[in-house]
Amino acid sequence: MQADIHRMFRDSAEVKLRFVEESAPRIEAVAHRMAEVLRRGGKLLFFGNGGSAADAQHIAAEFVNRFLRDRGPLAAVALTTDTSALTSIGNDLGFDQVFSRQVEALGRPGDLAVAISTSGTSPNVLRGVEAARRVGCATVGLTGGTGGRLAQAVDDAFVVPSTETPRIQEAHITLGHVLCALVDEILLPRPQGEIRAGRAG
């Protein structure tokens, strides 16, 4: 069991390192795009299923509340939290529309939609992206493996080089944290030489 523990930690670290080597320029570009959306009064919309739903909520909360330092709230919404909307849409229109319907209601030109699917094939996530494009939102996809249809449907795709769902999700939440940190830095740059320190929460 000790060997398995070390192997899983090592595999997670290796996947993340391969991912950042391939994706660092795109991460920086998307962070600037997110910051510009927020600076102009737009909002970030996050959605996904299962563990990706939890990631959507986690990342949105970091923007709305705070990340590593005190600042004003930033406009981010997780479309995975309103059980009345989710269940009524699922019941009346079908589960494949639980995100697209909310994007149609809340998305505006100049907003940015972040779709999360480890496989890149979740029908409701893909329909959410289609709705985002219809209403004029920019789109970012977080996926893994081959990227599935999601990687082809979004403006910017982050494809984690793994087929194991846990490893993909671990890279996704690390990416979410990095984007939060970069957006904070873009919107509120620190004085040169200031020590960067986070807090446990």
pLDDT digits (tens, 9 = 90+) for 9-63: 999 999 999 999 999 999 999 999 999 999 999 999 999 999 999 999 999 999 9
- Whether residue 156 is predicted with pLDDT greater than 90 in this model: the reply is yes
- Whether residue 77 is predicted with pLDDT greater than 50 in this model: the reply is yes
Q: What is the pLDDT of residues 139-155, one digit of tens each?
A: 999 999 999 999 999 99
Contact 4, 156 (CB under 8 A): no
Residue 187's pLDDT is 95
Q: Which candidate, 62, 44, 69, 28, places its Cα nearest to that of 189?
A: 69
User: Which CATH superfamily is 2-187 part of?
Assistant: Glucose-6-phosphate isomerase like protein; domain 1 (3.40.50.10490)
- C-alpha of 201 from chain center: 20
Can you read off the two tokens belonging to residue 81? 């939290």
The single-letter code of the amino acid at 192 is Q
What pTM was computed for the model? 0.93
Query: Residue 128 class from Cβ within 10 Å (0-12 exposed, 13-18 middle, 19+ buried)?
Result: buried
DSSP state letter for 194: P
Residue 190's pLDDT is 74
